[in-house]
Structure 1
Amino acid sequence: MNWSGLNVLITGGAGHIGSNLALELIKKGANIRITDNLWRGKKEYLYENGRPIIDFDKDFLEMDLTEMKNCEKAVDG
């Protein structure tokens, strides 16, 4: 599959699996947005070689997706 230019929302993206998925999709050219409530996830997982793999100001939303307003915000783009 060609991921180049596709927009992908990763929920729980600051966890071990989500952060590795984000890194792989970024390498394939996808545009990534990550949501995580940081209950178990850690922003540190979103770094590679000391550098962030995403723009935290633009592409990371710390939120709980059990609230509909947060779901809507996560997919607005």
Structure 2
Amino acid sequence: MFKRFYSILIKIFYFYKDGFKSLTLGKTLWKIIFIKLFIIFVVFKIFLFDINFNSIFKSSEDKSNFVFKNLLKENINE
């Protein structure tokens, strides 16, 4: 059973490998897609989403108090 699963994975891999070999415009589009994903996940994460509990609160007691207060806070919009 494992051998059959392994052979199916190999066939799928070679199917995509041969398909991407013959692409001309597709290769450039895939490069653009990967560059965009890199920018979204790496660059934005580093520069825009750097705030976390460790940068705001220094002790674990402060962190737990913040979470506890926000869990008990009533929703004002209701």
TM-score tier, shorter chain, comes to under 0.3
Structure with bigger gyration radius: 2
Answer 1 or 2: which has greater helix percent.
2
* Greater relative contact order (CA < 8 Å, ≥ 6 in sequence): 1
TM-score of the superposed pair, with normalisation by structure 2 = 0.19
